[in-house]
Structure 1
Amino acid sequence: MNLPLGDIAHLGHVELLTPDLDASLVFFTDYLGLTVNERRGSSVYLRTWDDYEHHSVILTGDDLPGVRRTALRTSSEDALRRRVKELEAAGHQGYWTEDEPGIGKLYVTTDPDGHELALYWESEFYQAPEELRPALKNQPQAKPNRGVGVRRLDHINFLGADVAANADFHDQVLGARPTEQIRLDNGRIAGKWLTYTDKSYDVVYTEDWTGSAGRLHHIAFATDTREDILRAADLAIDTGVFIETGPHKHAIQQTFFLYVYEPGGNRIELCNPLTRLVLAPDWPLVTWTEEERRKGQAWGLKTIESFHTHGTPPARS
């Protein structure tokens, strides 16, 4: 029995590690169109124009690329306390910290794979300075006049050594709802998509073919339209951004997508899933078979090999 949706409100922000902070920052600001909101030490706090919080992404300089922290905002202070109680009862110990601007107390723990997750409630609503003030009072910030102009942080895809265990953690302890999955012929779950909202997915786990734990497959930003993704591909070839694959359309979740690498090595997806919502409270879990997945994407080119092998940080040999 799934927990009722509600204690986790949405994916808040993600901290990415990069060995080339300056080049990664240019990618996120000039190519994607994010805005720098604050700098602290080796970390830069950036936001998309339609996310309401202080930051959507933290870029932190480090020796290797990857993901450090994924933050989930709860729906209330009581919801935060409930989830912490359930986490600790399930054996997932953590600690309290207050180490991010614009955010109150965070409870930091890990999923079974070792990915760092933080839950929080208190959050500062962004107030745009005069030069970024929007004409429409119901959006946080004016649309950027540079780059792709991605609208919001959409989802994160973790690589996992045990997809089922990690997905069950989000389902049974945090209250996410699984919407689609891949089941191999031997019964193993090789991928699972889960939502905390009426979007079709917020968090994804896919099997790490290297057997490693704690790695990142990609983070994704939503665009307004499919045409924005086509423009993103043109901008990429004009500015030297590496295109891994796309634009194509996924069969799973039906997302129109483009995958690129930022200079630090992390995979970034530009996607347009805005029209697909899961409104049914009793949504049946959609299961894809190994044979069905061999067909690849809904349309476009076949899935390329690096999509199954590239993750950050690099797998140890």
Structure 2
Amino acid sequence: MAEKLRDIAHVSAVELFTPTLDDTIRFFTDQMAMEVVERRGNSAYLHAWDDYEKFSVKVTGGNTSGIGRTWLRARSPEALARRVEEITAAGFGEGWSKDESAYGPVFHFTDPDGHPFGIYYETERYVASDATRPSLKNQAARFPGRGSNVRRLDHVNFLAQDVPVNESFVSGALTGRASEQIVLDSGVKAAVWYTFSDKSYDVVYTRDWTGTKGRLHHVAFATDTREDILRAADVFLEAGVHIETGPHKHAIQQTFFLYVWEPGGNRIELCNAGARLLLAPDHEVITWTEAERAKGQAWGLKTIETFHTHGTPPLAEAEWA
């Protein structure tokens, strides 16, 4: 058996659309403790304090909420060339771009569900200013000491019309490996978690109950400890940010979590999942049944209805009924 390549290093950044640009930027700077590192047109680029690359989130003003492009860094120029070849062969390539100031050449493509992606190797690392220079030379910026102090981008959970079709693409063209999945009694896969690294997951595809394509369930950011998430709940409470659910603990992936909606309507997760790593090269996918999933979280309150029904961009009933 040929050794499976692992050509993607990590998910590096994500673009979010928002109809309330200024309020969303304030959410990321004040409540999430990020730094605006660049403004270009109707977009702001924000950096989480220990991400090594220039930006973690690109926030773009628009008519509605939702997800724009998700960027992936290849492990090497050779890995980039291999992935571009495979993505093109699969029929989802869109061509090269040099539009983002933080990256070298980026190959644009979509997944089968229509979510935009970019893959690249050359990158611009974050350079600390006098105000953000850390005392410890092995972190990107100083600890901000405000808001929820999120350390880095952790993962993206996409809503998808057809999970198995996207599964084939992610595991094949993107060399992702599945770590956990939900399989319904009918045999249909309702959700799959994938990793590109030794983290337990980097991207997730969850079945969109509306049957539409290209929507977002949530973007997640990592904190150092569970206590950071508990403090974040108070931070969001005082700021008037909508707390959807948590803090609780997921059974799947064992993530300690808090979900909020940023002012534009996108769901944001704060998570502490770093303790669970997939070090086994022959990891077997963990399958959760419909009955097991119906039990809800590992502990905490029962999952609320909006967690299953809210996605962005929001849809009018006529768009999916």
TM-score range (shorter-chain normalised) is: over 0.9
Q: Which is further off, 137-146 or 212-221? A: 137-146
Matched, 1:71 2:71: yes
Per-residue CA distance 1:90-129 (angstroms, 9 max, x = gap): 2222210011121111100100000001101100111101
User: Offset of 1:3 from its aligned partner?
Assistant: 6.7
Question: Which residue is 1:242 aligned to?
Answer: 242
Letter in 1 for 2:260: V
Query: Equivalences for 1:181-220 in 2 at 5 Å?
Result: 181-220=181-220
Change (3 A) 1:164 1:3: farther
Aligned residues: 317
For the 8 Å contact 1:70–1:116, the answer to whether it is kept is yes
Tell me which amino acid in the other structure corresponds to 1:228. D
Cα 1:256/1:107, change in 2 over 3 Å? same
Q: Structure 1 residues 152-161 or 87-96, which shifts more?
A: 87-96
| Equivalent-residue separation in structure 1 for 2:101 and 2:34 (angstroms) | 17
Indicate the SS of the match to 1:259: strand
1:255 maps to which residue?
255
Deviation at 1:5, TM superposition (A): 4.4
Q: Deviations over 1:73-92 (max 9, x none)?
A: 00111111110001111222
CA distance in 2, matches of 1:145, 1:121: 32
User: Which runs of no fewer than 5 residues in structure 1 stay unpaired?
Assistant: none
Write the letter of the residue equivalent to 1:46.
L
Counterpart position of 2:303: 303
Aligned counterparts of 1:154 and 1:267: Cα–Cα separation in 2: 14
Shift of 1:6: 2.5
Where does structure 2 lack aligned partners over 5 or more consecutive residues?
none
| SS of aligned partner of 1:132 | coil
Partner residue of 1:174? 174
Aligned counterparts of 2:268 and 2:217: Cα–Cα separation in 1: 9
- Aligned to 1:112, the other structure's residue is in SS state coil
Over residues 23-43 of structure 1, what are the superposed CA-to-partner deviations in whole Å (9 max), with x where a residue is unaligned? 001100000001110000000
> How large is the Cα RMSD of the aligned pairs?
1.1
Question: Which residues in structure 2 correspond to 1:1-317 (within 5 Å)?
Answer: 4-316=4-316, 317=318
| Cα shift at 1:22 | 0.3
Q: Distance in 2 between matches of 1:168 and 1:267?
A: 26
1:179-204 per-residue CA deviation (whole Å, 9 max, x = no partner) reads 00000000100000000000000000
TM-score (norm 2): 0.97
Looking at structure 2, the residues matched to 217 and 283 of structure 1 have their Cα atoms a distance apart, in angstroms, of 26
Amino acid at match of 1:4: K
- Counterpart Cα distance in 2 of 1:232 and 1:168: 37
| Moved beyond 4 Å, runs of 4+ | none
